[in-house]
Amino acid sequence: MPVQGLRTVTSARNGVGAFILQCKRLDFHYCNHGGSSRGMLAFLTQTLPEFARENPQIEVRVAPRHGKHPVIKGQYINGREKAICVRNMEPGEILKKAMILKDASGEKLKRTKKPVTSLNESVRGIWSPYHGDLRGV
Amino acid sequence: MKRLQLQRWSSTVLSPRARTSNKLHQHLYSASLRHQSTVAPLQTESPTQNVIEDASLDLEDPELKLRLDSVHKRKSQLKYPSPPVNAAAESAKLAALHARLYLPSRLPLETLARTLVDVSADPNADFNNESLATLGHDLLTYYTSEHLLATYPRLPLTVIFAAMYAYVGPKTLAAMSKEWGVDVASLPGGEVDPGFLQFKRVEPGTDLSKATKGKGPRPYAEAKNWRKTVTSKIFYDDEFGDPIKGSNEAGAGVPDELARATAVRALMGAIYLHSGRPAAKLFFQQHVLSRSLNISQLFNFSQPARDLTRLCARENFEKPVAKIISETGRLSRHPVFVVGIFSGQDKLGEGAGASLLEARERAALAALKGWYLYSPLNVRVPSSMEEEGAAPWKPAYVDLGEVIS
Amino acid sequence: MFSRSVLRSLTSDLRLSAPTSVSSVNAISQRACLHQTAWLRTTQQQSEPQSSSPIPEAPLSATSQTPLQNTISQSRNAIPLEKQPVAPTFTSPIEVSKSLMEQLPHLVGQTPHYVVAELHARPYLLTEGDHIRLPFLMPKVKTGDILRFNRASALGSRDFTLKGAPHIDERLFECRVRVIGVESEPLRIKEKTKRRQRHVKQAKSKHRYTIMRVMDVRVKSPEELLEEGAVVVEDAEDSPQIEARS
């Protein structure tokens, strides 16, 4: 056989063609009695419908959790989950937290130094000591 | 607890007419049991259904009525192996998936729900995604192959097969459906949220190689030792150069990867049917073609130097000659040789290696890849002529074919 | 017969890596004008021949067109009028020197391309499909927005580089990025101490960064430039030149 094909899989580049929001689902947990849920209850009645309408790609779930602080949990496409406790917060602050969960990629937080990461090979090639003008010593 | 109390209460106090509800409760109890068990839901007989309707009309307790309604609904859901059509409009998961993929509004949620029902979950051809997947598979492979052939007219067939597999093979499509956030239902059924992908899993211990019945179009497929030419793969095998297998047995399970790939293909078919050709092509470009693939890594040469000689002979180039361009440390533990392959005055390729042979092989490899990966400027694919107001078609470059096949 | 051009294609194709989809460029350029921030401007609407040509009707809503427009209209309302993006004003058509016009096909024909785009005076070397994590949180952008980088100091392929002095005219190339989200770094705690005091202050910081993806890096061909109304002028001292690799 002269030349064989090697089987691989193309790697995804989210955003190059289509863009898929990484936040899949937001769970809003609240308590009907607890005082720390007061802002959450206001958020659920006032702001949440509009938030859900603006972000149709996110599945929104509202579920009571009796006797606990209110929490927003985000489920991501990579299978991870992020949770933010929103006890004693105003509806506006809760909206900000929901936006944080919406914009997050779901990855674990990492400290990086380089701004650009690339899948592509270096465009200009790698420098070689055996090419180009050799200077006499 | 409530249920038990009611039973006790009814047996002592209630009139025989209300006792129908008691019977009903027993029925409810058994129905919920069946729902939880792994046994397939039975078709309910019509007499019991009539009883339910009568009872729900007679009863005045709103809570009981509500519960009866839900029981009724659940029973109707349990009747079918896949979610009923009207459940699609109520599924938040499905609506979110529709919005996440920016699917055209002309593609209804009901069709999207249908693309997520595998043939192993619902054998009824009107409710599973098999027909849509067939169409979608043809579209995906057509668009990919025309892109590959127009962009790289000299690719060898085996590499085209590999590239096709990389773009629209089952592994890639399954990965795509995961990246879209499609979740899998652990068991298919009428009561499952239609936003889940539904299929029947393969039983543990099943031999996947023997799971199919029927045979493909290739004659003498049983003869294992016969040589299969690459050209014969075009006629007898599928788009990835794999032998075509017969259809699965009815009721057999499907691997996760295959079910996901089928769902993606079915979605492509559904977009084509509901929103037309341009929409399907755009969807293909955005989701399939935008992924990254390094085609030069798909080659696996066994004898690059021999291939290169044959190529030069065919193209009437001068015989390729390997020459050392530079070297260092010939007598040391780690020498480096840079060898170029020349045809007359023209350098075809160059490679560096720790021995002269290795460097020569690498140089021949580079030269061959340079030949095979030729790509014309301003590539146009045949299907671009389907657009309105397309410029007149200029014939695409067609190559002689492979050097050695 | 190995002509020089065949040889050039051979050597250049050696390095072909990611398949560039030429046909997808159209789809992208349609959506190009959807978002402009104050400091990233789109030339498309401005140049006269472009504005006269009708934008081809979107074939469907499968593109992110409709939702994007929604988000923009919402984000626009929040921005005060004086801070809204300014369309670029070009008083004269782009002037291209003769020598650049001659050399440009070499650069255009050799793929892939890279661009050294500048953002707040910091250079970012970008190719198609790259993932950028800006060292700051970009205001007024939403996830899914498409931006166009218009300030580049260098633009090139393997063997050719067009260097700007200090910047390349933004009408010579297209570089689009998509905002794909906001990430934050892990919480950092710095212990602050003072002399002769037992108290230790903990300074916490958790910055947030904008994440982007490069959608395309494209050099315009001479024909395109002429279509857009470029004027060919004689070579001058400071006219940009394409440098070939030695």
pLDDT single digits (tens) C75-106: 556 666 666 666 677 888 888 899 999 999 99
Residues B93 and B69 in one domain: no
Residue B338's CATH number = 3.30.160.20
Measured between CB atoms, does B220 come within 8 Å of chain C?
no
Evaluate if residue B260 carries a pLDDT over 80: yes
ipTM over 0.85: yes
Looking at the complex, does the CB of residue B369 fall below 8 Å from at least one CB of chain C?
yes
Same domain assignment for residues B319 and B360:
yes
N residues, chain A? 137
Residue B105 lies in a domain: yes
Cβ C62 vs Cβ B104: under 8 Å: yes
Other CB atoms within 10 Å distance of the CB of residue C203: 9
If you ran DSSP here, which 8-state letter would residue B369 be given?
H
User: pLDDT tens, B125-179?
Assistant: 999 999 999 999 999 999 999 999 999 999 999 999 999 999 999 999 999 999 9
- Percent of chain C at pLDDT > 70 equals 64
Tell me the three state secondary structure of residue C96. Answer: strand
Asked if A24 and B329 touch (Cβ cutoff 8 Å), the reply is no
How close C190 comes to chain B (CA, Å)? 38
Does residue B74 fall inside a structural domain? yes
State the alpha helices, DSSP H only, in B222-332.
230-236, 256-275, 277-284, 304-314
B282: tokens are 């755009």
The residue ranking higher by pLDDT, B122 or A129, is B122
| Contact yes or no for B371/B154 (Cβ under 8 A) | yes
- Is the peptide bond preceding residue C85 cis, with omega within 30 degrees of 0? no
* The pair of three-digit structure tokens given for residue B318, joined into one six-digit string: 């001068």
> Looking at chain B from residue 154 to 213, which residues have their Cβ under 8 Å from any Cβ of chain A?
156, 158-163, 165-167, 169, 171-172, 175-176, 178-181
Classify residue C224 as exposed, middle or buried by CB count within 10 Å of its CB (0-12, 13-18, 19+). middle
Kindly determine whether residue A109 and residue C184, on different chains, have CB atoms separated by under 8 Å.
yes
B275 touches chain C (CB under 8 A): yes
Question: Is A8's CB within 8 Å of B179's CB?
Answer: no
> Which pairing describes strands C122-126 and C114-119: parallel, antiparallel, or unpaired?
antiparallel
Interface test with A, best of B94, B98, B100, B311 (most A CBs within 10 A): B100
Tell me the CA distances in angstroms from B399 to B152, B156, B403, C139, one per residue in order. 10, 10, 11, 52
- B351 touches C: beta carbon within 8 Å: no
Work out the average pLDDT over C129-140.
95
| Domain limits for position B70 | 2-78
Distance from CA of A76 to the nearest CA of B (A): 8
Residue with tokens 């159209």: C26
Q: What is the pLDDT of residues B27-60, one digit of tens each?
A: 444 443 333 333 344 444 444 444 444 444 555 6
Q: Which of A21, A103, A112 to mutate to test the interface with C (most CBs of C within 10 A)?
A: A103
User: Which chains border B (3 or more CB–CB pairs < 8 Å)?
Assistant: A, C
- DSSP annotation of B376 reads -
Q: Which helix H or strand E contains B135, and what residues bound it?
A: helix B130-151
Alpha-carbon distance of C108 to C218, in angstroms, equals: 8
Q: C61-91 burial by CB neighbour count: b if 16+ within 10 A, else e?
A: bbbbeebbeebbeeeeeeeeeeeebeebeee
Instruction: Report whether C160 contacts C176 (CB < 8 A).
Output: no
Clarify whether residues B59 and B145 are in a common domain.
Answer: no
- Report whether pLDDT(A13) > 90: yes
Do the domain assignments include residue B241? Answer: no
Tokens standing for residue C154: 């260098």
* Contact state of A120 with B292 under an 8 Å Cβ cutoff: yes
Instruction: Kindly list the residues from chain C whose CB atom is less than 8 angstroms away from the CB atom of residue B289.
Output: 19, 21, 24
| Closest CA in chain A for residue C144 | A19
Output the domain CATH number for residue B161.
1.10.1520.10
- Whether pLDDT at C58 is above 80: no
Residue ending a domain, among B57, B78, B99, is B78
Q: Which residues of chain B lie closer than 8 angstroms to C111, CB-CB?
A: 375
Q: Is residue B136 part of a domain?
A: yes
Report the greatest alpha carbon distance in chain C: 85
Residues 2-31 of A with CB under 8 A from C: 13-19, 21-22
Query: Is the domain of B56 the same as that of B162?
Result: no
Strands C242-244 and C160-168: antiparallel
Strands across the sheet with A71-76, in order? Answer: A59-64, A23-30, A71-76, A81-85
Q: pTM score > 0.90 for this model? A: no
> What pLDDT is stored for residue C23 in this prediction?
38
Torsional class of C229: left (φ above 0), alpha (ψ -120 to 50), beta (otherwise): left
Q: Domain A32-103, what fold?
A: Glutaredoxin (3.40.30)
Q: What average pLDDT does the segment A23-43 reach?
A: 95
| Per-residue pLDDT at B256 | 94
Best CA proximity match to B202, nearest among B251, B243, B246:
B251
Enumerate chain C positions whose Cβ falls within 8 A of a Cβ in B. 1-2, 7, 9-11, 13-14, 16-19, 21-24, 27, 59-64, 66-67, 108-109, 111, 129
Q: What is the CA radius of gyration of chain A?
A: 24
Residue B1 has pLDDT above 50, yes or no: no
Which position has the higher pLDDT, B275 or B400? B275
Q: Which of A17, A56, A128 sits opposite B290 (nearest CB)?
A: A17
> B375 pLDDT exceeds 80?
yes
Give the Cβ contact number of residue A29 at 10 Å: 21
CB A26 within 8 A of CB A101: yes
Q: Give the count of alpha carbons within 13 A of B249, CB side only.
A: 12
Contact B381 C23 (CB under 8 A): yes
* CB-CB contact of A101 with A23 (8 Å): yes
Residue C138 neighbours by CB under 8 Å, 6+ apart:
C37, C179, C210
Pairing of strands B299-301, A116-117: unpaired
Chain A nearest CA to B160, separation (Å): 8
Q: Decide: C49 and C171 in contact? Cβ < 8 Å.
A: no
DSSP C82: G
- Estimate to the nearest angstrom the gap between the alpha carbon of B161 and the chain centroid: 16
Which amino acid type is present at position A2? P
Residues B201 and B309 in one domain: no
Q: Which among B338, B343, B403 is positioned nearest to B369, based on CA atoms?
A: B403
Which neighbouring-strand residues pair with A122? none
C-alpha C37/C-alpha C84 separation (Å) is 7
Residue B386 DSSP SS3 = helix
Q: Which chain A residues are Cβ-neighbours of C70 within 8 angstroms?
A: 54
Q: Which residue of B96, B292, B402 is in closest CB contact with A13?
A: B292
Q: What is the mean pLDDT of residues C1-24?
A: 40
**Which contacts (CB < 8 Å, 24+ apart) does range C103-106 have?**
C103/C160, C103/C241, C103/C242, C104/C219, C104/C221, C104/C222, C104/C225, C104/C242, C105/C221, C105/C222, C106/C159, C106/C160, C106/C242, C106/C244
3-class secondary structure, B387: coil
Encoded amino acid at B119, one letter: V
CA distance A81 to A23: 9
- Token look-up 């061909």 returns C221
Q: Is the pLDDT of residue C17 over 90?
A: no
**Domain ranges for chain A:** 32-103
Average pLDDT, chain B: 83
Q: From start to end of chain C, where are the E strands?
A: 95-97, 114-119, 122-126, 131-133, 146-148, 152-156, 160-168, 173-184, 188-193, 200-205, 208-219, 231-233, 242-244
User: Which of the two residues, B227 and B340, has the higher pLDDT score?
Assistant: B340
Q: What share of chain C is helix, strand, coil (3-state, %, to 5)?
A: 25, 30, 45
Q: What is the mean pLDDT of chain C?
A: 74
Contact with chain C for residue A50, Cβ under 8 A = no
Give the count of domains, chain B.
Answer: 3
Is B370 in the C-facing interface, judged by CB distances under 8 Å? yes
Buried b (16+ CB within 10 A) or exposed e, B152-180: bbbbbbbbbbbbbbbbbbbbbbbbbbbbb
Cβ neighbours around B217 below 10 Å, total: 10
Q: Are A72 and A63 in contact (CB under 8 A)?
A: no
Q: How far apart are CA C175 and CA C149, in angstroms?
A: 6
Q: Give the model's pLDDT for residue B179.
A: 95
Owner of token pair 């050039």: C8
B105–A contact, CB cutoff 8 A: no
Q: How far is it, in rounded angstroms, from Cα B149 to Cα B145?
A: 6
Facing residue for A1 by CB, picked from B302, B325, B368: B302
Enter the tokens of residue B90.
């109520």
Of the pLDDT bands very low, low, confident and very high (cuts 50, 70, 90), residue B369 is: very high
For residue C169, the surrounding DSSP H or E stretch is none
> What is d(CA C228, CA C176) in angstroms, rounded to the nearest whole number?
19
Give the minimum alpha-carbon distance from C191 to chain B in angstroms, rounded to a whole number: 41
Q: For the residues B244-265, what does the mean pLDDT come to?
A: 86
Query: Does residue B238 sit within a domain?
Result: no
Does residue B338 lie within any of the structural domains?
yes
* B296 inside 8 A of chain C by CB: yes
SS3 category, A51: helix
In which residue are the tokens 């020569």 written? B360
B183: confidence class by pLDDT, cuts 50, 70, 90: very high
Residues of C with Cβ-Cβ distance to B275 under 8 angstroms: 60, 62
